[in-house]
Chain A
């Protein structure tokens, strides 16, 4: 896969940055000129991953969220969201629908939404060190070359 463009940002794990993060990714990936549905799906997946960092990785403090987006030839978008927070004890369990440690305020559907809306989802986590979520989605480019 040949990379055609990349961007990365980092920001404090404040909930007010959730809209910023998905908006920044939407602006960047829009150069592939995808459909509104595809753009909405990618924004939603980014929002879920960033919210997980804010709610679960840094529950009692403000840490840094690292977000990277890459575009590859063939209309492939890759999003990586990384934190240096507390990590996930059981990744398989965390990925189960409706599982949450966030109480009534959370639906437990974050990973399910990411899996539904993206083609692939990889979660690597180490307790005490942090979590990296990498997801890819191939979009049907209507026009434009992304150059």
Chain B
């Protein structure tokens, strides 16, 4: 799993690529939360267009980023989700909490 982060004004863009499973999620959460604490963006956009596989470990990563953004007074957006990760997110019902858009 690779992660790259860019910032434009009050927006932070996090680009994930590769497989998002329990093995990869362990380090990823720390990286994301640390960066959010440092930059305190108003909006955090999690771009998942290059995620090849995701299981429920990804749900936990997204929920923690969502909670952290709320604590910072901002908001998380999950964008460009490919079909396999989207099926996992759909099964979880997480879209009731977070705005999620699929990869078109």
Q: Which residues of A contact B (CB under 8 A)?
A: 15-16, 18-19, 22, 37, 40-41, 43-44, 47-48, 51, 54-55, 97, 104-107, 109-110, 112-113, 116-117
B interface secondary structure, majority: helix
Are B53 and A105 in contact, with the CB atoms below 8 A? no
B12-45 toward A: CB 8 Å interface, digit per residue (1/0)? 0000000101110110010000000000000000
Q: Determine how close the nearest CB of chain A comes to the CB of B49; give it in whole angstroms.
A: 16
**Cα-based distance from A65 to B30 in the complex (angstroms):** 28
Q: A19-B19, A113-B56 are in contact. Are A107 and B63 (CB under 8 A)?
A: yes
Category for how many chain B residues contact A: 20 to 34
Are A116 and B25 in contact, with the CB atoms below 8 A? no
* Cβ contacts under 8 Å, B93 to chain A: 97
* Cβ contacts under 8 Å, B83 to chain A: 37, 40
* Cβ contacts under 8 Å, B79 to chain A: none
Is B99 interfacial (CB-CB < 8 Å)? no
Extra contacts, 11 of them, besides A37-B83, A51-B21, A113-B56 (Cβ < 8 A), are A15-B26, A40-B83, A43-B84, A44-B53, A44-B55, A44-B88, A48-B56, A109-B56, A109-B92, A112-B92, A116-B91
